[in-house]
Amino acid sequence: MTTINEIFRTFGPEYLERYAKVMPKIHHKVIDAIIGCRTEVCGLALYQCEKCSQFHRVYRSCGNRHCPTCQHHKTRQWLEKQLKRQLPGHHFLLTFTVPEKLRRFIRKNQRIAYSALFKASSEAIKKLALDEKYIGGDLPGFLGVLHTWGRTLEYHPHIHYIVPGGALSTPDGLWHPSRIDFYLPVRALSMIFKAKFRDAMKETGLFDEIPSEIWQIDWNVNSQAVGGSETSLKYLAPYVFKVALSNSRILKVENRTVFLRYRKPHSHRLRTLALEAMEFIRRFLQHVLPTGFMKVRYYGFMNPNCGVPLDRVSTLIEMSYGFNVVLPKTDLEPWQPITCPNCGGTLRLRSLLLPWKILSWSG
């Protein structure tokens, strides 16, 4: 199977030679990390089989958060933690998307624009949740994950929020549930989202760089009832510590062309996308995040610094339904240990060798 790492090792040096002078430094760093992942560049792990005592050498991962080979362990840990933090009752998946004509501006000003997207969308949720017509709670809780890609790797920034169906009211200390099939009006969310993003851009001094027609069109907000949060968490988890594309979607590389498998929205039919190698790398790199930018954020009582224990929120939710509520599932498939390819015994880590020690150890 062809992997993204192999594509970068084959064509990455050519991409650097062509564009090194104009590309962001973080892109250069990501290319180097992906090329060196699972090679001597990253060091070596030495394992020993508990059954047959044979030693096995395994090259270490680069650990870069944009590398498709890495981060599986972190993804699993994050998902386990979030499943344990699930609340009973119904949930919603809210998605905030910007107009296509705004994408170029956002890509040029990523750190500022991404932060503004989080702030504008989260404040829209909080503002409407406070309204007695809908929920009437001043403390909703939700988590958001930034995505920047579409199914064909095009640049498509949007934020997904997993939101419990209701909000906590601090004046009366009760849980105010939403309807099972309706959380907040998406048209109102869209208008507030757009207005708050516009205000943020005025504060940063970038407002005049945005095409004026952006403010005359509707911004898309989608709200979907998802029942429990387990399904949505499992859907978002692979994207929390990875970017854009998994190796399983790569069909082949032939004549400098990368063939990808994808589906159009609302379609189950598999399609094939052919991208020239340089274009493939370009599309992949446009989803690299600014250094240190947090793509997962927690709000309201979901924020660890809120001061309201989730156990208390969970109890209040159960009380609001007369304890007639389905508790969330928290089980995952058990971890599979690394096994010996010769006898199937469990491998145990014995030592780690840093890159500069490998040559002396081998000699």
Q: Along the 363 residues of the chain, how does pLDDT read in single tens digits? A: 578 999 999 999 999 999 988 999 999 999 999 999 988 888 888 899 999 999 998 888 888 888 877 777 777 778 888 888 888 888 999 999 999 999 999 999 999 999 999 999 999 999 999 999 999 999 999 999 999 998 889 999 999 999 999 999 999 999 999 999 999 999 999 999 999 999 999 999 999 999 999 999 999 999 999 887 777 787 777 767 667 777 888 999 999 999 999 888 778 888 999 999 999 999 999 999 999 999 999 999 999 899 899 999 999 998 887 776 666 666 666 777 788 989 889 999 988 887 755 555 444
pLDDT value of residue 329: 66
Beta strands in the chain (DSSP E): 44-49, 55-59, 91-97, 141-149, 155-164, 166-169, 174-177, 221-227, 250-254, 257-263, 270-276, 296-300, 347-353
Q: How many of the other CB atoms lie within 10 Å of CB of 175?
A: 26
CB contact at 8 A, 328 and 87: yes
Q: Is the pTM of this model over 0.85?
A: yes
What is d(CA 221, CA 191) in angstroms, rounded to the nearest whole number?
Answer: 9
User: How is the chain split among helix, strand and coil, in percent rounded to 5?
Assistant: 40, 25, 35
* Contact of 298 with 143, CB cutoff 8 Å: yes
What is the pLDDT at residue 328? 66
- Say what the pLDDT of residue 33 is: 92
Sequence-separated (6 or more) residues with CB below 8 Å from residue 47: 55, 56, 57, 58, 338, 347, 348, 349, 350
Torsion, CA 69, CA 70, CA 75, CA 78, rounded to 10: -170
Q: What is the end-to-end Cα distance of the chain in Å, rounded?
A: 32
Half-sphere exposure for 271 (CA within 13 Å, toward CB): 11
**Nearest residue to 229 via CA among 131, 107, 328:** 328
Cα–Cα distance for residue pair 338/40, rounded to 1 Å: 20
Look at residue 247 in the predicted model and tell me its pLDDT. 82
Measured over the CA atoms of residue 336, residue 339, residue 345 and residue 346, the dihedral's sign is: negative
